[in-house]
Amino acid sequence: MHNKILVLHGPNLNLLGKREPEIYGKTTLEDINEGLRSRAEKSGVAIECIQANCEGKLVTLIQEAQGKYDYIILNAAAYTHTSVAIRDAIAAVNVPTIEVHLSNIHKREEFRHKSLIAPVVVGQIAGFGADSYMLALSFALTKITGE
């Protein structure tokens, strides 16, 4: 075990707090990252948070996680519903991945109901706003540290 978690935020999540606050809330991405870092630090686990708008960058980061991280927490955002490449990258690496969404994708537009990555991740957490990330982190920390 490496006691490291990689958090990947997909496209447009850099606009959190400003973008459609009625759906995504007023919490910023930095607020989410700070909360995750603080919680992970208390458990002695390192965490790296990266936001990328480009699908290829997310694929590369997932590929590079092999052998470096114990878990990936991934909010692929819109790529959840469109990216076979991200799905294949998750399936190719031996790093357990947790799919996270701020909103409940199943209560939104029909095209958001299908996740291409769901079949290759440990599980999906959706609809709890910023707490979706914290729930995923709690699960990963339990698996890594036994807490």
Q: Which listed residue (9, 79, 101, 133) is catalytic?
A: 101
49, 64, 56: which is closest to 6 by C-alpha? 49
Contact in structure between 47 and 5 (CB atoms under 8 Å): yes
Work out the end-to-end distance of the chain between its first and last CA atoms, rounded to an integer number of angstroms: 15
Contact in structure between 126 and 105 (CB atoms under 8 Å): yes
How many angstroms separate the CA atoms of 32 and 47, rounded?
12
User: Which residues, at least 6 apart from 73, have a Cβ–Cβ distance to it below 8 Å?
Assistant: 5, 6, 7, 8, 36, 97, 98, 100, 133, 136, 137, 140
Q: Which listed residue (9, 24, 69, 133) is catalytic?
A: 24
Query: Does 113 qualify as catalytic in the annotation?
Result: no
Query: Does 106 qualify as catalytic in the annotation?
Result: no
Active site members: 24, 101
